[in-house]
Amino acid sequence: MRLHPLTALTAACCAAVMTTAAGSWPLSVAVALAAVLLAARTGVAARVLLAAGVILAPLFLSLLVLHGLFFPEGHTVLAQWGPARVTAEGLGFALELASRTAACVLLLLLFSFTVSVPDLLTALAARRIPPQFSFVLAATLTLVPAMAERLEKIRQAQEARGLVVGRGLLSRLAAARLQAVPLVLGLVEDAGLRAQALDARGFGTTGPRTSYRQLQDPPAQRIFRATALLLAAAAVVLRLSTAWPAAVPT
Amino acid sequence: MACGGAYVTGDGRAQLGQPAEDGQPAAVTLPAAAARIRSFSFHGDAVEALRDVQLAVLPGTLTAVLGGSGSGKTTLGKLIAGWLRGGHSGVLRGSLALGADRLEFHGGSGDPRINPAAWSGRVGYVPQDAAAMLSSVRSTVAEELAFGLENRGVPRLEMIRQVARIAEQTGLSGLLERDPAELSGGELRRLAVACAAIADPEVLVLDEPLASLDADGASQLRTLVDRLLDAGTAVVLLSQTADALARSAGHWIVLNGGTVTAEGPPAELGNGAALRDAGVVAEGLPAGTPGDLPLAAASTPVLELRGIGFGYGSGETRGARSARGPAGVVPPVALLRDLDLTVRPGEIVAITGPNGTGKSTLLRHFNGLLRPQAGEVRVEGGGIDRIPTGRIAASVGMLFQQPRDQLFERTVLREVGFGLRRLAGAEAAAGRAQEALAAVGLSDAAQAHPAELPSSRQRLLALATVLARRPAVIALDEPTVGLDRHGLERLQHAIAAAAARGAGVVLVTHDLAYARANAQRILALDGGSLREI
Amino acid sequence: MSPQSLTLPDAGSRTGAGTAPGRRRLLEIAGATAIAATYVFLVLTQPVEIANGPASFSALVALGGFLLGAVLLLVAVLPVLPTSTLVLMPVAIVLNVVLGQLMGSTGLPFYLDAIGTVLIAVLAGPAAGAATGVLGSIVWSFFNPTVLPFAAGAALIGFLAGLAARGGLFRRFYLAPVAGFLTGILAGVVSAPIAAFVYGGTAGLGTGAIVSAFRAMGDTLLAAITKQALISDPMDKAIVFTIAALLAYALPRRTTFQFAFVRRFRVLAGKLPADPAA
């Protein structure tokens, strides 16, 4: 059975919130692994892992250097070189944060790489989310590949006019400017024309709207979403109430 | 004021309309739409885009507005259809009427504000760039058609009925589940018309509906226009070509420089001076004079291709479009196979062939934008194997189909002068830039912003940037598309002058008639290699 | 299809229902308050927090407060934006990334990921800029979920860029970087708690080294990241504002003058042409 896009979105978000609220690295690692397993089952593991790797690798490295070497609050010193101290607390803190971020990123990427965008738009329209939001979301997703193609065309056209990109910073800056101008100009002009077309097709009106595309939303999935939201809220409340006395100075 | 009062009477009846085809006197039929534009100027422009233009269209008739690039056709069409609105897009003085509803504009803040959604329910407009009509956020043709209905809150069952009806009418029934982004040019144009026609407007304005359509696409679109006319829709055609569709119109309005220079039935205007002055292209392009050109002497070739082989990888999307293997298999098709080409100084060579045969791909080998997988390209006697495109550009000038991508400066003069200093020295650069502008007739626009030129002149500017560098080889990709009559004449002269100077010219075109008229040698790209025809 | 009037009501009553503008204003204030209150709360509680183990509590507060504020702002602004502004938003969002990469290819050590947002703010005003900031973060989180929590900071950049444009700071080429510098200070400070409490650091190695240096001197994590932001962000935003200004100058007049905001506040240099009939 196909998941309603809102069910998938709710599941990903609630899992991310609960993982954040729990703040325990074994749980975070387990959630991250679960996300990877699910990605493998839906056949998007390679893409999810690649995207997550690009995002997470620099963060991990930065966290390791930052907290691994400099953590003034740490007591248990494992090694020391001049001002840099490796402390157990610092490493623990880095592990905690890295695993939590990894879990959340993997969950959300799993959602965005598996969701059907048209279905998501239909679901949003049915929930009376402003159509402007859906438009910007969908139009951006359409524009991303088109933009790359366009930039390549511009580059070719300019090279054919004798533009040689040198190695120097200034030369590359100048080349970037020359490419950016037609790109921005073309996109802004196209956008102006599209605005006229959208207005003519009633996009600017404020009245009620209907939807041509329809989506199945089985009751079981509605119950699941409500439950997930309740659980996430409970986790947040629990975390806030237990941490409150310690966290707020009196 | 020239257009005083006698144009539309108080109750909105046409005095000026063309004779109705069913023999009814025009005076008693209310025009479906009437415009009396005293002036319209865009915000930020000192010049008026339109002045003293009047137009009235009766139900079920075809009216053609003809004019060259920059004549104001599109502005007029968009004003009638509410795509451009007084106050919102510019300053409008005059009146617009739909049936008995009439709005007066004085160019002030008290003017009525057109509701584009309601207005377009009565007058539809289809832009020349059909893709701009689409919402870009719907994943199937059916949903795209329904987009306008969804926004107006039409109940779903009614929507399904209307989508089916309009799809039937526009020949899109078989394509309803397709992705709009994957339609062919002709299908896309029909979808854009359908998106406008689904609101059942009384008037439909079509901007260059046949531009860059092949014969098949054009004939399907003609059928669609005939159907709309039969159903009582008033159709306004905006065109810079007096083609068969324009000739079937009941009434012509010729625009030049933003104002009407002639109007009347096509038979009267025929191929007259007004039409020529306005830059309207007559069917059948101006005959060239290839016979007058000196035939290239047997000197060293400026461009030589030897045994070129090239194919896009099977995984690439670019290749997939042109790769039509047997039984739908997409093999890594060799687009070019063992291809030879020799171009001598002063020679004009045309390469023709249907879409998707690899003409543009071949052109991109001349300056190294694409590198051959087999064989060798030699320019002015030297191989270009390891030379970057930017350097080859000194010897090979190339004009692309989309001029906008090639332009990036703030003024026309700077655009042409770009990189000239390094190439020709400071003193020669200024002279060469002026000369190139003069050659394409843009001397008067030297200080204009390239992006504000009409499309035909943008192409000429791109051509000037190529000419100013005086390359040994000039390669032109579909140079005639989108050029008006003035533009075509300039192009022809510029090519002839470049050839006379000793440049080798290669032009790629789908238009065999143009190739015959303007080239000394015509080659067909067929099965990956060239043959003389 | 119900027959609609061919014209819209007068400009004076364009917002239609009488209570709607009031409610929008309320939402805007609530959104801004949520962001400000969250920031103040986090700054006050953080010294206790860092010694207290994992930063779950602060992370939840930072995420919740900032996202709530950003979404409230979006809900207030989005429905009143004209279509001509709305269609620019996807362009701006993609430009943020593509121009960022294009500039990144020049080897400059900055992120430059707000060029599109600033450009739209210059053309269409502070509200459009703020909405683009938020929407950009939400949409881009499809590809990189870590940008989502920075939505409030992105909104602030768009909003301040719009204010600067309205105030005429984009009329002169040399004023744009000044406006960018000031925006960078504010935006950097506001975004620091997210970096500190949600991610525990910054994603870049260069910025990470600066944070490390401050940490080595004994600063709290939030203080170290705030100081690092005060070093990188103003410079970054000064460049971003300059590039956006250069792009806006390169656009032809007919294009920029389509935007009522540009005409009304004379955002870019140059006078309105004399009205032919006036």
DSSP assignment of A7-40 equals HHHHHHHHHHHHHHHH--HHHHHHHHHHHHHHHH
Residue B128 lies in a domain: no
pLDDT higher than threshold 80 for residue B313: no
- State the count of interchain CB pairs (< 8 A) between B and C: 72
Residue B520 lies in a domain: yes
What chain C residue is nearest to B109 in terms of C-alpha separation?
A: C11
Helix (H) or strand (E) holding C266: none
Q: CB neighbours of B484 closer than 8 A, spacing ≥ 6?
A: B68, B69, B240, B279, B280, B281, B456
> Is the CB of residue A209 less than 8 Å away from at least one CB of chain C?
no
Please return the burial class of C16, using the count of CB atoms within 10 Å of its CB with bins 0-12, 13-18 and 19+.
Answer: exposed
Chains that touch C (3 or more CB pairs under 8 A): A, B
Determine the pLDDT at residue B24. 46
What chain A residue is nearest to C221 in terms of C-alpha separation?
A: A71
Please return the burial class of B277, using the count of CB atoms within 10 Å of its CB with bins 0-12, 13-18 and 19+.
Answer: middle
- Identify all chain A residues contacting B466, using CB atoms and an 8 Å cutoff: 161
B304 with B248, same domain: the answer is no
3-state DSSP assignment of residue A183: helix
pLDDT digits (tens, 9 = 90+) for A136-178: 999 999 998 888 888 888 888 888 888 777 777 788 778 888 8
CB contact under 8 A, C89 and A192: no
> Among C173, C156, C172, which residue's Cα sits nearest to residue C35?
C156
CB contact under 8 A, A184 and C119: yes
B275 with B212, same domain: the answer is yes
C50, C60, C250 ranked by CB distance to A21: nearest: C60
Outline where DSSP puts E strands in A36-174: 77-81, 84-87
Q: How does residue B240 score in pLDDT terms, banded at 50, 70 and 90?
A: very high
Instruction: Give the Cα separation of C176 and B394 in Å (integer).
Output: 38
pLDDT higher than threshold 70 for residue B330: no
Q: Determine the angle formed by the axes of helices A131-159 and C126-140, rounding to 10 degrees.
A: 80
Phi and psi at residue B389, in whole multiples of 5°?
A: -50, -40
Last residue of a domain, one of B200, B217, B247: B200
Name residues 122-151 of chain A within 8 A of C (Cβ). 130, 132-133, 135-137, 139-144, 147-148, 151
- Identify all chain B residues contacting C274, using CB atoms and an 8 Å cutoff: 46
The CB density around residue A41, as the number of other CB atoms within 10 Å, is: 9
Tokens describing residue A239: 């975390």
Question: pLDDT above 90 covers what percent of chain C?
Answer: 51
CA–CA min distance B471, chain A (Å): 11
What chain A residue is nearest to B423 in terms of C-alpha separation?
A: A162
CA–CA min distance C259, chain B (Å): 9
Cβ proximity of B399 and B367 under 8 Å: no
B345 with B381, same domain: the answer is yes
Please return the burial class of B121, using the count of CB atoms within 10 Å of its CB with bins 0-12, 13-18 and 19+.
Answer: buried
Last residue of a domain, one of B144, B176, B200: B200
B221 with B341, same domain: the answer is no
B235 with B162, same domain: the answer is no
pLDDT higher than threshold 90 for residue B248: yes
Among the ranges given (B223-232, B402-411, C117-126), the one the predictor scored with the smallest mean pLDDT: B402-411
Residue C196 DSSP one-character state: I
Rounded to a whole number of angstroms, the distance between the first and last alpha carbons of chain C is 41
Determine the pLDDT at residue B321. 37
Biggest CA–CA distance in chain B, Å, is: 75
- The overall average pLDDT reported for chain A is 89
B210 with B83, same domain: the answer is yes
Q: How does residue C227 score in pLDDT terms, banded at 50, 70 and 90?
A: very high
Residue B402 DSSP one-character state: -
3-state DSSP assignment of residue B529: strand
Q: How does residue B60 score in pLDDT terms, banded at 50, 70 and 90?
A: very high
Residue B412 lies in a domain: yes
B375 with B500, same domain: the answer is yes
> Is the CB of residue A121 less than 8 Å away from at least one CB of chain B?
yes
> Which one of A212, A213, A215 makes the best mutation probe of the B interface by having the most chain B beta carbons within 10 Å?
A212
Among the ranges given (A149-158, B239-248, C224-233), the one the predictor scored with the smallest mean pLDDT: A149-158
CA–CA min distance C274, chain B (Å): 7
Determine the pLDDT at residue C105. 64
CA–CA min distance C274, chain A (Å): 24
Last residue of a domain, one of B265, B282, B299: B282
- The answer for C190, left when phi > 0, alpha when psi is -120 to 50, beta otherwise, is alpha
Please return the burial class of A230, using the count of CB atoms within 10 Å of its CB with bins 0-12, 13-18 and 19+.
Answer: exposed
> Is the CB of residue C37 less than 8 Å away from at least one CB of chain A?
no
What's the domain count of chain B?
3
B34 with B167, same domain: the answer is no
> Among B97, B200, B81, which residue's Cα sits nearest to residue B152?
B200
Cβ proximity of B4 and B43 under 8 Å: no
The CB density around residue C205, as the number of other CB atoms within 10 Å, is: 11
- The answer for B82, left when phi > 0, alpha when psi is -120 to 50, beta otherwise, is left
A153, A160, A202 ranked by CB distance to B148: nearest: A202
Chains that touch A (3 or more CB pairs under 8 A): B, C
Among the ranges given (B57-66, B297-306, C25-34), the one the predictor scored with the smallest mean pLDDT: B297-306
- Identify all chain C residues contacting B98, using CB atoms and an 8 Å cutoff: 6
Residue B196 lies in a domain: yes
Residue B258 lies in domain: 2-122+201-282
pLDDT higher than threshold 60 for residue B405: yes
* Domains of chain C with CATH codes: 3-264 (1.10.1760.20)
Q: How does residue B332 score in pLDDT terms, banded at 50, 70 and 90?
A: low
Q: What is the mean pLDDT of residues B237-244?
A: 92
Residue B303 lies in a domain: yes
B116 with B164, same domain: the answer is no
Question: pLDDT above 70 covers what percent of chain C?
Answer: 85
pLDDT digits (tens, 9 = 90+) for A70-94: 888 788 888 888 878 888 888 988 9
Helix (H) or strand (E) holding A4: none
Report the side by side order of strands in the sheet with B382-383.
B336-343, B303-310, B374-379, B382-383
Phi and psi at residue B379, in whole multiples of 5°?
A: -115, 125
A62, A94, A97 ranked by CB distance to C204: nearest: A62
CATH of the domain at B455: 3.40.50.300
pLDDT higher than threshold 50 for residue B401: yes
Residue B31 DSSP one-character state: P
Question: Which residue type occupies A148?
Answer: A
Tokens describing residue C277: 């009939």
CA–CA min distance A72, chain B (Å): 52
pLDDT higher than threshold 70 for residue C6: yes
The CB density around residue A248, as the number of other CB atoms within 10 Å, is: 13
Instruction: Give the Cα separation of A25 and A186 in Å (integer).
Output: 48
Among the ranges given (A241-250, B174-183, C235-244), the one the predictor scored with the smallest mean pLDDT: A241-250
Alpha helices in B198-316 (DSSP H): 215-230, 244-247, 266-269, 273-277
Outline where DSSP puts E strands in C81-149: none
Determine the pLDDT at residue B324. 37
B232 with B361, same domain: the answer is no
- The overall average pLDDT reported for chain B is 85
CB contact under 8 A, C7 and B107: no
Q: What is the mean pLDDT of residues B323-333?
A: 43
Name residues 211-270 of chain C within 8 A of A (Cβ). 211-212, 215-216, 218-219, 243, 246-247, 250-252, 255, 258
Q: How far is CA B30 from CA B33, B170, B186, B199, in A?
A: 8, 28, 34, 21
B75 with B138, same domain: the answer is no
Q: What is the mean pLDDT of residues B372-376?
A: 91
Q: How does residue B25 score in pLDDT terms, banded at 50, 70 and 90?
A: very low
Question: Which residue type occupies C253?
Answer: R
B8 with B94, same domain: the answer is yes
pLDDT higher than threshold 50 for residue C275: no
Interface of C to B at Cβ within 8 Å reads 1, 3-11, 250-258, 263, 272-277
What chain B residue is nearest to C87 in terms of C-alpha separation?
A: B135
Question: Which residue type occupies B509?
Answer: T
3-state DSSP assignment of residue B278: coil
Residue B127 lies in a domain: no
Q: How does residue B300 score in pLDDT terms, banded at 50, 70 and 90?
A: confident
3-state DSSP assignment of residue C54: coil
Residue B450 lies in a domain: yes
- Identify all chain C residues contacting B119, using CB atoms and an 8 Å cutoff: 6
Q: How does residue C54 score in pLDDT terms, banded at 50, 70 and 90?
A: low
